[in-house]
Amino acid sequence: MLIESRLEKIRLEKIRLEKKHEQMRRRCANTRRKKKSMERRKNVIRQNFISGKKGEEKILKILQKKYENVVDNNIENKFSTMDFSDNTLKIDFECKHREKYTHDQFNNGYDLGLMYGRNKFDYSVERLKEGYRQIVYWVCKDGIFFWELTDPQKQKRQYTFGKNSNKNSGQTPKDVVYVKLDYLTKLD
């Protein structure tokens, strides 16, 4: 009876240890999956940053031909609200890089158009009060498109507000502005 009791305790301890081992194995597997997912997200963010820089360089070359005093705001602050400015002519420029997509690829019959951050829109509204022009450029697969915000009240039909995010990078949805396709101008 004493031997059987000890054998039963050993058997139960073995079962407990096996369960604990299985839990640890699952935790390790989950940790590896999470780590891979985080690495993929970081890679997407890095690629988006590099891609965005290429789009900005493309637009900057165009702007420098047209405007003599264009300044790259990202040199001083890589998180600058607007990418470029010409303080002599009082113009701010924002550049969005969508070169993987055509300008109308995400329209889906809802007339959403191309988007940019609501924070940039709000900043532009304030800058308009200071006499600055506000122009947003989108570098797309089928060309470069732009839109100028001149009067938010008079242009209300040209844009809508919404929420969106880059799901590949794990972003939470942010406030955005959709500029309707009919109001975009293709750069020659």
Q: pLDDT (tens digit, 9 = 90+) per residue, 29-72? A: 777 777 777 787 777 767 777 777 888 888 899 899 999 999 99
Nearest of 166, 175, 131 to residue 151 by alpha carbon:
131
Domain span at 38: 33-186
DSSP line for 34-49: HHHHHHHHHHHHHHHH
Q: Is residue 10 part of a domain?
A: no
Instruction: List, for residues 75-89, the tens digit of each pLDDT value.
Output: 888 888 999 999 999
Q: How far apart are CA 82 and CA 54, in angstroms?
A: 16
Query: Is residue 58 a part of any domain in this protein?
Result: yes
> What domain count does the chain have?
1
In a domain, 96, yes or no: yes
Lowest mean pLDDT: which of 66-70, 130-134, 139-143, 163-167?
163-167
Nearest to 162 by CA among 182, 183, 181, 178: 178
Q: Residue 125's pLDDT is what? A: 97
CATH (domain of 144): 3.40.1350
User: Does residue 14 lie within any of the structural domains?
Assistant: no
Q: State the pTM of this model.
A: 0.75
